[in-house]
Structure 1
Amino acid sequence: MLKKGVVILSGLLCSLGLTLQAHALELKGNLTQGGMVIGKLDNVSKVSFNGKPLKLTPSGEFVFGFGRDAQPKHVLTWVDNKQVKHEKEIVISQREFKIDKITGVEKKYVSPPKSVLERIRAEAKAVRQARATESNLEYFKQPVLRPALGRISGVYGSQRFFNGKPRNPHYGLDIANKTGTPVLAPLPGVVTFADPDLYYSGGTVIVDHGYGISSTYIHLNKLYVKVGDKLSTGDHFADIGATGRVTGPHLDWRFNWYNERLDPQLLMQDTLASKSSNK
């Protein structure tokens, strides 16, 4: 069982908000596969993670994440205002992921006909472009609440078999409930993608939270937003559905740092999003 609100630095277990005084480095989050980390450094000009430059907020914060199959060792590098380079090795924990065997999936979703392959490629490209958004929004720093009521029916990272055939791992958190159940914004953001009918994911919405962090909501029955709409925590922007490749109605909820898939369950607080959450 992974514990929320914990970071691991070079094999040492540290509480949230730990400061390494020698480097004035603060890290908050989960250093594990699927984890997201928010960092802060004072008086620096550049920060990079595994060689990738990171955007700095005006107050010196930055964010990065680890994919499902991330290796144990990573490197955070920064250059201070005196142009001195610093480097910190980050060691993350590895996870074991479950096997998820799903039957009753329509054949066209397991082995799609050639006539739809071009559509699938075009839709995948549009989704990647939306996830690549790099805005100056700082909503990624806000609490992440539960977006819908329902039973957790699928978890991040599980290796999936559809009708006995191996497919890509699952990168979201599934919340099962009846069609029409409200989907609420778990944190503020701006809609960068909204389409009611993608081949695999059906009704799909992507929301930008800033600095490469986005969330995705799929298999939706109805969408009440369009690209460019601003969401506040608790806004009812869609309904749970059974569109696309599904065997029943549920919300498939995902988090990304650019194109790295993160685990929503590590971020989610066990409180349903509501308008009162903004207060």
Structure 2
Amino acid sequence: MKMALAFIGVLLNIGVAAAADAPAITCQGIAKQGGMMICQTAPNATVIIGRSETDTYPQQADANGIIIVGFDRDEPDNFIQVGEQRISFDLAARDYDISRIDGLPSNMVNEYTEEELTRIRAATARKKVGFSSRVDEIGFKDGFIYPVADHIKTTNFGAQRVLNGEPKRPHFGVDLAAPKGTPIVAPADGIVSMADDDMYFEGSLILIDHGQGLISYYLHSEELLVEDGQRVVQGQPIATVGSRGRSTGPHLCWRLKWRGRNLDPELLVTEWPSHG
């Protein structure tokens, strides 16, 4: 809560919703595909988020008037509206790589036994619960730090995946290669909404809710150091690098999602506006 209040203080200091004639809502952040904005409006206000006039849905700002808006990998232009005031986001389009991985076992690509399908369905159900987390506190102010300090980035966010020659869904994470056992730390404060070391594709999986369903997640770890419901702070060790699940070598697959939209977690390290 202290961090949320500190960030709100920053917003008020620059005139956001501080004066009677101030606009109903103001936003700042990263207006591009895979990016995110954080907005200030009236406490508990109903906020309309839209991709078009016919594709909108309501969200509620928190008790401090803060609301997050994330933009998917291929997101079209968006807008956010409170009452009669609308802010339009002209999202910068991005070019994405192609990532080819060959030599994977067929049961990690396209051929599954009934037993394996049962495991996949059970893992999917557990993930759904983890992703439904909605922590009220905003657990970051000046963005993220890298969860693996010393790494080699091997795959960018959004790369089109081709597995054993077969096109698959885009890669929604950032792959950070590092030796097995390298510490993985929380990039920002949050609550662990899932910590599971028996996942089919991921091998192991940690989800951290940083506020309002902004959830970062961590795949393929060797050892998990946190548990469900645990509060973590920026820089705290949460796991170690491994190569479990669908993986060809020790690395962290680091991902970020906001209410079903796949975001680029690296943007919150490299491009998030800092306020000191």
Aligned to 1:68: 73
Aligned to 1:109: 108
- Structure 1 residue ranges (4+ consecutive) displaced by more than 6 angstroms after TM superposition: 17-22
Look up the equivalent residue of 2:62 and give its one-letter code.
T
Is there any run of 5+ residues in structure 1 with no aligned partner, and where? Answer: 1-16, 80-84, 271-279
The alpha carbon displacement at 1:220 in A equals: 0.4
Larger deviation, residues 133-142 vs 38-47: 38-47
The alpha carbon displacement at 1:75 in A equals: 2.3
The alpha carbon displacement at 1:142 in A equals: 4.6
The alpha carbon displacement at 1:122 in A equals: 2.1
Aligned to 1:59: 64
Aligned to 1:196: 197
Matches within 5 A, 1:241-260: 241-260=242-261
Matches within 5 A, 1:140-155: 140-148=140-148, 149-155=150-156
- 2:37 and 2:187 mapped to 1: Cα distance? 18
- 2:270 and 2:47 mapped to 1: Cα distance? 29
Give the match's secondary structure for 2:169. coil
- 1:43 and 1:186 mapped to 2: Cα distance? 27
The alpha carbon displacement at 1:24 in A equals: 4.8
TM-score, normalised to structure 2, is 0.84
- 2:24 and 2:67 mapped to 1: Cα distance? 14
The alpha carbon displacement at 1:202 in A equals: 0.6
The 8 Å contact of residues 153 and 176 in structure 2, kept in 1 or not, is answered as yes
- 1:157 and 1:54 mapped to 2: Cα distance? 26
Structure 2 CA distance for partners of 1:27 and 1:246, relative to 1, 3 Å: same
Q: Deviations over 1:140-193 (max 9, x none)?
A: 445310110210111110001111111110001110011100001111111111
The alpha carbon displacement at 1:241 in A equals: 0.2
The 8 Å contact of residues 197 and 243 in structure 1, kept in 2 or not, is answered as no
Identity rate of aligned residues, in percent?
A: 32
The 8 Å contact of residues 153 and 175 in structure 1, kept in 2 or not, is answered as yes
- 2:59 and 2:140 mapped to 1: Cα distance? 14
- 2:249 and 2:104 mapped to 1: Cα distance? 10
TM-score, normalised to structure 1, is 0.83
Look up the equivalent residue of 1:133 and give its one-letter code.
S
* 2:209 maps to 1:208: yes
The alpha carbon displacement at 1:207 in A equals: 0.7
The alpha carbon displacement at 1:39 in A equals: 0.8
* 2:81 maps to 1:77: yes
Larger deviation, residues 27-36 vs 117-126: 117-126
Matches within 5 A, 1:31-70: 31-42=31-42, 45-50=45-50, 51-70=56-75
Q: Deviations over 1:50-80 (max 9, x none)?
A: 1322232333221010111211x2221112x
The 8 Å contact of residues 49 and 57 in structure 2, kept in 1 or not, is answered as yes
Look up the equivalent residue of 1:216 and give its one-letter code.
Y
Aligned to 1:126: 126
- 1:109 and 1:101 mapped to 2: Cα distance? 14
Look up the equivalent residue of 1:129 and give its one-letter code.
V
Look up the equivalent residue of 2:269 and give its one-letter code.
M
Give the match's secondary structure for 1:126. helix
Give the match's secondary structure for 1:144. coil
* 2:139 maps to 1:139: yes
The alpha carbon displacement at 1:18 in A equals: 9.6
The alpha carbon displacement at 1:106 in A equals: 1.9
Matches within 5 A, 1:15-26: 23-26=23-26
The alpha carbon displacement at 1:113 in A equals: 1.5
Matches within 5 A, 1:175-186: 175-186=176-187
The 8 Å contact of residues 146 and 269 in structure 1, kept in 2 or not, is answered as no
Q: Deviations over 1:2-27 (max 9, x none)?
A: xxxxxxxxxxxxxxx79798735322
Structure 2 CA distance for partners of 1:152 and 1:76, relative to 1, 3 Å: same
- 2:132 and 2:16 mapped to 1: Cα distance? 30
The structure with the largest strand share of the pair is: 1
